[in-house]
Amino acid sequence: MSLPDSFLQSIIHSLDSLDVVGVTMSGSFARNQAGRYSDVDIQRYVHVLPESRYEHYMLQYVQDRLVSVKTLTVEEAQKSLTRPDKAIWAIPGLRQMNILLDKEGILAGLKRAAERADWSRLQPAADEFAADELMGYAEEVHKLLDGLEQDSESKVLYAVWGMVDGMARTLAVQRGLLILSENEFFQMVQDSAGRASDWTRSFRIAAGMDPAPLSQSPYRVRGEAALRLYAYTARPLLESLPERYRKIVATALKLIQESGIRV
């Protein structure tokens, strides 16, 4: 499914101003994968961000098609290529974008920079990001263990929510998975970990993708799976973590083991 040129021109006309550097389109329409309910992802690049935060991200219907407009600076996009947690999204996003308006050729240069991006240069920062995440999510380990001990469904499920997202991002960034679409994120992390791996089995149960046994409380099953997910994410990286991170992560892993949860 494609969009009429008149549709895109109307969007460009509505967004253009003296401060606008250019306009691009990404997402399913840029990848020629759009369906009946796909929205149109538009990026408006400016020299200076508008003061109103409402203008940073807007949704509107144009000719019965939902259009999302994100306003950002070129500098912001350039920085996203240097931060591994942003780059896993930015590199493929900039590579696939369709340039609709580029007044000075700046966006074409930005796209070329994304096409030349070399993940090996970002790997040290990616490893640092993973170490920091694993240390930070030791707090979720404590919340999960405490919630399970207190039979607190709310506490456990809130911690599960964070752990599923955090460990998926940790794995994706540390391994440099370039995410072509948010719709493929969960598929890609499972494929990278291995569909039959302990990591993926724990991820699917914690995320609620696979059902809990009828004889057990679902929130407890998910909570224990989230603790295993942390362990299976942290263990392969433990010895390579800087000392300031390793002690915290190792203690969290020890607490999981001492709780009786088998990993």
Same domain, 99 and 143: no
Residues of the chain with pLDDT under 70: none
CA 261, CA 138: separation in Å to the nearest integer?
A: 16
Same domain, 37 and 104: yes
**What local confidence, expressed as pLDDT, does residue 1 receive?**
72
In the 8-state DSSP scheme, what is residue 147? H
**What local confidence, expressed as pLDDT, does residue 212 receive?**
78
Same domain, 128 and 250: yes
Number of domain units in the chain? 2
Q: Are 125 and 42 in contact (CB under 8 A)?
A: no
| Amino acid residing at 112 | R
Burial (CB count <10 Å: 0-12, 13-18, 19+), residue 74:
middle
Same domain, 29 and 135: no
**What local confidence, expressed as pLDDT, does residue 90 receive?**
97
Q: Are 20 and 44 in contact (CB under 8 A)?
A: yes
**What local confidence, expressed as pLDDT, does residue 184 receive?**
94
Same domain, 86 and 138: no
The pTM assigned to this predicted structure is 0.92
CATH number at residue 97: 3.30.460.10
Same domain, 206 and 138: yes
Same domain, 154 and 243: yes
Same domain, 112 and 127: no
**What local confidence, expressed as pLDDT, does residue 51 receive?**
81
Q: How many Å is the maximal CA-CA distance in the chain?
A: 64
Whether residue 263 lies inside any domain: the answer is no
**What local confidence, expressed as pLDDT, does residue 2 receive?**
82
> Which structural domain, as residue segments, surrounds residue 181?
121-258
Domain boundary (75, 102, 117) is at 117
Phi, psi of 194 (to 5 degrees): 105, 125
